[in-house]
Amino acid sequence: MARMDYDIDLQPQFAPLTLIDVGAYAAQHEPWANRTLSQVNDSVVRMGVLHGDFHWHHHEDEDELFLVLEGRLLIDLRDRETVTLEPHQAFMVPRGVEHRTRAPERTVLIMVEPAGVQPTGD
């Protein structure tokens, strides 16, 4: 069954001007952790640890960018080919576009989206 939500923290976990060691921080987390690392102006930079399938969803008013650091992320889109992201590959899903992420292995990624967005979508 597809995962419907994250273990999420919407508050920034790192103060400005502090080192954010994403690799070490990710190693402390199980799937499906979603942590807000930092707020940058009106956006947040989040870390996700995934393993398995997420559910189909979209964000009505928000673009979302994914950048893989470790592992491999598949992004399914309606009427398009599935995209596979290897480490240091990124993909931007614009607002309104339905998508589903899948991680066949443990995967660590960075997400950029507006502050306050619920990552589980509509």
Contacting residues toward a second copy, per CB under 8 A: 14, 16-23, 37-43, 45, 62-65, 67, 69, 77, 80, 83, 85, 87-94, 97, 110, 112-114
Nearer to a second copy, 2 or 94 (CB): 94
Smallest separation, CB 1 to a second copy (Å): 27
Smallest separation, CB 37 to a second copy (Å): 7
CB 31, CB 51: distance < 8 Å: yes
Q: Letter for the amino acid at 19?
A: L
| 3-class secondary structure, 24 | helix
**CA-to-CA dists, residue 113 to 3, 46, 94, angstroms:** 20, 8, 10
Smallest separation, CB 113 to a second copy (Å): 7
